[in-house]
Chains A and B, each alone.
Chain A
């Protein structure tokens, strides 16, 4: 479904992605972890064209991101994204945050979009917040709205960029629960996170990145029980105190 082929990217002189190769199949959940500055968020954002890259190619359902004819607008409609800082639109209500893309991008009738949005809010457990503004919600609630907003476009793939890093500890679980639920429903997911509990529970593959390279990959068991690289061992020691 997603093929990442020899992708390299530079910010000026700094090489932030170094010859990355990876395949994400339909229904798979891939967790990307690694120290900060390792390129994991950049890799995730390059999957839907938010970050351009200089070398290599990424194919989504066979469509090359390097092909100048590729329509990114169409491509992104099939790839939902959830951000570290939620990025809800603060000037419109929660329900409008969810319905605006289906209405304006997909030309869905408002009544239908509203109905779908309420179902999604139900699914993430906060239907009572529909008429509020994002600023009046807790961080965990905002992130759940952000997930509902992405799901409203009925994407085939969901990308999560450190979805729980900006949350207070007591709110992390409510967001992870929604994500676990989504993974179990068969959604294809690429998740940048340090939540190893989540990785253990649902990841089909875990990628460990450092300095722009994938230096270790494995299924949950192989990765957690005996990582091969020193760097991964050290990283796991630090986050699994």
Chain B
């Protein structure tokens, strides 16, 4: 079997364009998913029924759906709701943010629960409000405990973005697919794609390992 690796270098610029889209999508989905996830995770711990039930419904609904279906929903439903077409990228961003938020929310919920109730009593006893107590004491401590799980989830999000392929978004995998259709070099292209995913995800999980070791020492 003979490999023709020039297919990679010849199309490197195009492939890197796809990788940039993948990174953009992943970063927005992680930032948005985490922000929304913090709010939903806090909602899951709320004693107010109007907050607890919608948050719980949201988490259970999202976590019981395949991601690919959620991507379809937003791609086909959003134009109907808005009355105008939205781009593949926008619809993917919305789908990923909302879907990943439900996973981040459960990590956040567990993280907040890992902090003793005494900490919030202590904050209350010196006149802090609920939101201040969360911001200054509970979330900073919880985030530290949750860091390994959050990074693992971020790695998953990065891999998940390849599913945006199905709505024709030209992210990294789709770019390779486009080149393959023209050059017929599937093996080289998909090995290269796999290698890039490996490098990115493996280095992220190494960072995670370092953080866990640091936590163990503290």
**Residues of chain A whose beta carbon lies under 8 Å from any beta carbon of chain B:** 45, 48-50, 72-74, 76-77, 79-81, 83, 85, 87-91, 100-101, 104-106, 135, 146, 149-150, 152-153, 159
Check A104 against B124 for contact (C-beta < 8 Å).
no
How close is B81's CB to chain A, nearest CB, in angstroms?
Answer: 40
Per the CB 8 Å criterion, the residue count for chain B at the interface is 18
Contact of B126 among A45, A49, A91, A101 (CB under 8 A): A101
Q: Does B23 belong to the interface (CB within 8 Å)?
A: no
- Whether A87 pairs with B116 at a CB distance below 8 angstroms is yes
**Distance of A237 Cα from B144 Cα, bound (Å):** 47
- Bound Cα distance from A187 to B100, whole angstroms: 52
Binary contact track B85-129/A, C-beta < 8 Å → 1, others 0: 000000000000000000000000000000010110110111111
Q: Which A-chain residue is minimally distant from B137 (CB atoms)?
A: A89
Chain A contacts of B136 at CB under 8 A? 89, 100, 104
Sample 27 A-B pairs with CB under 8 A, ordered by A number: A48-B124, A50-B121, A50-B124, A73-B127, A73-B129, A74-B127, A76-B126, A77-B127, A79-B125, A80-B125, A80-B126, A81-B125, A83-B121, A87-B116, A87-B118, A88-B122, A89-B136, A89-B141, A91-B137, A91-B141, A91-B144, A101-B128, A104-B132, A105-B132, A106-B127, A146-B122, A159-B125
Of all chain A residues, the one with the shortest Cβ separation from B218 is A135
User: Does A149 lie within 8 Å of B119, measured CB to CB?
Assistant: no
A131 to B109, CA, bound (A): 32
Minimum C-beta distance from B24 to chain A (A): 32
Central interface residue in A50, A79, A135, by most chain B CB within 10 Å = A50
Q: Which residues of B contact A (CB under 8 A)?
A: 116, 118-119, 121-122, 124-129, 132, 136-137, 140-141, 144, 218
Q: How far, in angstroms, from A106 to B126 measured CA to CA in the complex?
A: 10
Query: Which B residues are in CB contact (< 8 Å) with A72?
Result: 124
CB-defined contacts of B137 to chain A, threshold 8 Å: 89, 91
Chain B residues positioned under 8 Å from A89 (CB to CB): 119, 122, 136-137, 141
CB distance from B149 to the nearest CB of A (A): 18
Report whether B125 and A104 are in contact in the complex, using a CB–CB cutoff of 8 Å: no
- B119→A76 contact, CB < 8 A: no
Closest residue on chain B to residue A83 by CB atoms: B118
Instruction: Determine which of B121, B128, B140 lies in contact with A87 in the assembled complex, contact meaning CB atoms within 8 Å.
Output: B121
Contact A76 B125 (CB under 8 A): yes
User: Within 8 Å CB of A100, what residues of B?
Assistant: 136
Contact B140 A83 (CB under 8 A): no
Name the B residues within 8 Å of A146 (CB-CB): 122
Q: Quote the shortest CB–CB distance from A149 to chain B (angstroms).
A: 7
Find the residue from A83, A87, A146 having the highest chain B CB count within 10 A.
A87
Are B144 and A150 touching (Cβ within 8 A)? no
Q: Kindly state the separation between the CA atoms of A50 and B121 in the bound complex, as whole angstroms.
A: 7
- In the complex, the answer to whether A105 meets B126 with C-beta atoms within 8 Å is yes
Q: How far is the CA of A90 from the CA of B126 in the complex (A)?
A: 16
Q: Name the one of A76, A88, A90 contacting B127, with C-beta atoms under 8 angstroms.
A: A76
Cβ of A26 to closest chain B Cβ, rounded Å: 20
In angstroms, how far is the closest chain A Cβ from the Cβ of B87? 42
Shortest distance between the CB of A76 and any CB in chain B (Å): 5
**CB-CB < 8 A to B144: which residues of A?**
91
Option from B126, B129, B218 in Cβ contact (under 8 Å) with A153:
B126
Q: B118 touches which one: A74, A85, A105, A153 (CB < 8 A)?
A: A85
The 4 closest A-B pairs by CB, nearest first: A77-B127, A81-B125, A101-B126, A87-B122
